[in-house]
Amino acid sequence: MMLRGLLAVAVALSALDPPLLDVEERRSIGGLAAHIAAAFDEIAACQTAPSGEFIVFDRRAHAVFTVARGADAPKKIVQIGAEPGRILMPTAFDSAPDGTFVIADTPREQQRVQFFLASGTTMGGFTMPGRGAPQITLGSMYLSGLASLEYTGQTVLISQPENGALVIEYLPSGTPLRTFGELRPTGQESDPPVHAALNVGIVLVNPKGGYYFVFLSGVPTFRKYDTNGKLVFERAIQGIEMDPYVGKMPTTWPRRRGDLPIVPAMVRTAAVDSSGSLWISLVAPYTYVYDASGDKRRILQFRAAGVIAPTHFFFTTDHKVLVTPGCYTFNAD
């Protein structure tokens, strides 16, 4: 009953939005060559290294590649495998400004986080207690186990609501450094797997200080935290583009694959640009951009060969944004 009430409030509040913003169409200005992009099974993340090379995380191939500027083919730097230094059933990826990167995977259904140099050489990692379980779905894709992580170059921040907080920050040794973020009420507290799934989200470092947390499922919402993990504000993600999806959100979750709930995502991905603005790619093929005060300032739609619904953003130092799928380049300003 509480969730139904929250949904009704979310739909009603959409009528209180500021004057409607026009949708800005962004067209690709470059990216990976078509024949190189076609060589990948599933580009889940595309970023750039300090050297200027592309770093491509191919989830379906269980691998990481680099693509040098002007190269005719990608180079595989992390191979498939369950042993340390390889990856199997990967779920999340992020890189640091120095070119090092981190990958979460699930060999033998065991959650693992590994750290790598830009060359693909392993720097170690740690295994987490418990098993990764499907919680969030985005179309036909399951975001299971560690659905997202944020790598600072020194620590990794992970969304783990099943442990009682929105975010846990870990040292590379696997030692928890701190937790922050209270779980939001969902009306499903009596069903812990659903309650946790409705609190799964994306944690993002704000280059202007502090953090954002964007909930992946349930009533579309994001929060801003200061550097100490104290809540600054919470905002609803509202707009006519999302109204049909909010209105059709489920209030019950039939069990599949044993006794695990299958909860649909309302957000595809999110990222923060150099100005501290938050970009949120929605389940609808639009991206909302919010300023540091939490006000919506832009509605974007990306086009390359057709309309792109971004599943990953990466902002470059020259004010461009790399958008996955496809690893297309767009102007960020």
Which residue has tokens 């902002």? 315
- At residue 267, does pLDDT exceed 90? yes
CB atoms within 10 A of CB 123: 13
Mean pLDDT of 295-309: 95
Eight-state DSSP code of residue 229: S
- At residue 295, does pLDDT exceed 60? yes
Task: Mention every residue, 6+ apart, whose C-beta is less than 8 A from residue 331.
Answer: 26, 29, 319, 320, 321
d(CA 213, CA 167): 9
- At residue 268, does pLDDT exceed 80? yes
Partners of 170 in beta bridges: 156, 176
- At residue 221, does pLDDT exceed 80? yes
Which residue from 332, 212, 221 is spatially nearest to 278, judged by alpha carbons?
Answer: 212
| 129 contacts 112 by C-beta, under 8 angstroms | no
Of the listed ranges 6-20, 199-213, 219-233, the least confidently predicted one is 6-20
d(CA 240, CA 262): 26
Distance of CA 262 to the CA centre of its chain: 18
Mean pLDDT score of the chain, rounded to an integer?
A: 88
The identity of residue 73, as a single letter, is A
Which residue has tokens 């309302």? 266
Share of the chain above pLDDT 90, in %: 67
What domains sit in the chain, N to C, each tagged with a CATH number?
A: 1-30+135-326 (2.40.128.630), 33-128 (2.40.10)
d(CA 260, CA 253): 9
- At residue 141, does pLDDT exceed 60? no
Summarised one tens digit per residue, pLDDT across range 110-139 is: 889 999 999 999 999 999 876 655 466 766
Q: According to the model, what pLDDT value does residue 16 have?
A: 47
Which residue from 285, 289, 283, 280 is spatially nearest to 313, judged by alpha carbons?
Answer: 280
- At residue 281, does pLDDT exceed 90? yes
Of the listed ranges 94-103, 189-198, 313-322, the least confidently predicted one is 189-198
Mean pLDDT of 81-87: 96
Q: According to the model, what pLDDT value does residue 9 have?
A: 46
Summarised one tens digit per residue, pLDDT across range 142-181 is: 565 577 899 999 999 999 898 899 999 999 999 999 999 9
* Residues present in the chain in total: 333
Give the phi and the psi of residue 109 in degrees, each rounded to 5. 60, 20
- At residue 324, does pLDDT exceed 50? yes
- At residue 140, does pLDDT exceed 80? no
Task: Mention every residue, 6+ apart, whose C-beta is less than 8 A from residue 178.
Answer: 168, 169, 229
| Residue 292 burial class via C-beta count within 10 angstroms: exposed 0-12, middle 13-18, buried 19 and up | middle
Q: According to the model, what pLDDT value does residue 136 have?
A: 67
With residue 36 as reference, give the H or E element that holds it.
Answer: helix 34-37
With residue 9 as reference, give the H or E element that holds it.
Answer: helix 2-13
d(CA 278, CA 86): 33
Q: According to the model, what pLDDT value does residue 162 have?
A: 86
Q: According to the model, what pLDDT value does residue 13 have?
A: 45
Summarised one tens digit per residue, pLDDT across range 34-64 is: 899 999 999 999 999 888 899 999 999 999 9
- At residue 285, does pLDDT exceed 80? yes
